[in-house]
Amino acid sequence: MTEPEKPAPAQPSASRATAPSASGASASGFSSARIATATMVVLAIVATAWVAIALTRFFMLVFAAIVLAAIFGAIADWLVRRTRMPRGWALALSVAGIVALFIGVFALFGSQLAREIDTIREQVPRALQGVEAFLDRFGLGAQVRDVAAVGSEDLSRLASQAGGYALAAGSGIADFVLVLVAAIFLASDPATYKRGLLMLIPARAEPTAKLALEDAARGLKGWMVGQAVSSLVVAAFTWAGLALLGVPAAGGLGLIAGLLDVIPMIGPIIAGLPAVLLAFTVSPATALWTLLLFLVIQQLQGNFLQPMIQKQAVDVPPAVLLFAVVAAGVLFGFLGVLLAAPLTVVVYVLVQRVYVKTLLGKDIKVAGRD
């Protein structure tokens, strides 16, 4: 008997044969789309970071204008409460007062310093020779002369770069004028700029953003009140101490010390450099007493006045404030050091409101409130 024929195996249809290749193409296309999207996201992040780094100076100038506007506004509001004058006139008086203060300080100090330049040239080398003779008794004169030689080379290098410093000074004056004009505009109608900023915030985040802005404003106001008292105390102590020691330009040096008091813990040290230099025109002993005076004032500022400022504004730990000054100097230069204290206050209260309170749900101490 013949065996029945076995049916031939069915051939896969064309649609089945092409199905794997179609799904593979789809998966490949989806993978390519994901890679392209990820690449675009990375490029956008890098570009945003590059723009932010390139515009750091611009952002610091904007923040400086905001701080100066807050100062103008606080003075103007105080004048309105005291005298009932229109706010426009009060704002004009506050701007005129601040500008006159800066001009007066640098005019007073600059004119006195210019008169003392010749005396400094004569007295400082003589004083250094006396110091070397004293150290020679202990076998340290050679090391001092080596340091002095290195210092003279550095001074020569600085003198050769005077043109660049003059250009930098001109740029600084232009920046100051820009910040001053912007601060006047901001202080004249702060509500308009606040509404414009809140318009850029998503609707669900707007209540938190509004509270954060109010916290930052209270923190800045408290910092200004405490800082004003601190600057007045430092200026008065410096002026009186230098006058008792017989240091020239005691008034101008005191006012500069008061202005530089806005730089936490470092300001009195910076203000002490020209004071010690002028004290050398009197005697090396006067220069030593001047140095001790500024060290005492630095301790007063760090241990008494700075905690008072923190109590008025927000309780920023001293170590955080010190590292903030250093970090701001590394990132933003002298302008960052100058604005380190208010910048730290603002960042601190924003972190408290946005992160600690809103995201973590923990209780916070609101800036400017007990």
Sequence-ordered list of residues with C-beta below 8 angstroms from that of 189, at least 6 positions apart, any chain: none
| pLDDT of amino acid 220 | 83
Q: What is the DSSP string of 326-356?
A: HHHHHHHTHHHHHTHHHHHHHHHHHIIIIII
| pLDDT of amino acid 344 | 84
Hey, what are 3's tokens? 């065996």
Rounded Cα distance, 327 and 266, in Å: 13
| pLDDT of amino acid 162 | 42
Rounded Cα distance, 329 and 335, in Å: 8
Rounded Cα distance, 285 and 368, in Å: 45
Residue pair 80/197 in contact by the 8 Å Cβ criterion: no
| pLDDT of amino acid 165 | 41
Give residue 226's pLDDT band: very low, low, confident or very high (50, 70, 90): confident
Residue pair 251/310 in contact by the 8 Å Cβ criterion: no
Three-class secondary structure of residue 111 per DSSP: helix
* Residues 194-198, mean pLDDT to the nearest whole number: 86
Of residues 4 and 34, more confidently modeled:
34
Give residue 312's pLDDT band: very low, low, confident or very high (50, 70, 90): low
| pLDDT of amino acid 111 | 63
Give residue 159's pLDDT band: very low, low, confident or very high (50, 70, 90): very low
| pLDDT of amino acid 169 | 44
Q: Say whether pLDDT at 181 is over 80.
A: yes
Q: What is the mean pLDDT of the chain?
A: 74
Residue pair 254/238 in contact by the 8 Å Cβ criterion: yes
Give residue 124's pLDDT band: very low, low, confident or very high (50, 70, 90): low
Which one, of 83, 131, 105, 154, lies nearest residue 260 by Cα?
Answer: 105
pTM: 0.66
Count the residues in the chain: 370
pLDDT in tens, 278-310: 787 777 788 888 889 888 887 777 777 766 666
Which one, of 137, 129, 79, 98, lies nearest residue 259 by Cα?
Answer: 98
* Lowest-confidence region among 66-75, 132-141, 218-227: 132-141
Q: State the burial class of residue 365 (Cβ atoms within 10 Å of its Cβ: 0-12, 13-18, 19+).
A: exposed
The angle formed by the CA atoms of residues 212, 213 and 218, to the nearest 5 degrees, is 100
Hey, what are 306's tokens? 């700075």
Amino acid identity of 285? A
* Lowest-confidence region among 96-100, 269-273, 330-334, 366-370: 366-370
Which one, of 44, 105, 74, 50, lies nearest residue 186 by Cα?
Answer: 74
* Residues 110-138, mean pLDDT to the nearest whole number: 60
| pLDDT of amino acid 104 | 74
| pLDDT of amino acid 59 | 84
Give residue 158's pLDDT band: very low, low, confident or very high (50, 70, 90): very low
pLDDT in tens, 68-110: 888 888 888 888 888 888 888 988 998 888 888 777 766 766 6
| pLDDT of amino acid 272 | 83
pLDDT in tens, 213-223: 888 888 888 77
Hey, what are 145's tokens? 């002369």
Cα dihedral sign, 140-146-149-150: negative
DSSP state for residue 139 in the 8-state scheme: T
The alpha carbon of 146 is separated from its chain's Cα centroid by a whole number of angstroms, namely 36
Cα of first residue to Cα of last residue in the chain, in angstroms, is: 109
Residue pair 264/322 in contact by the 8 Å Cβ criterion: yes
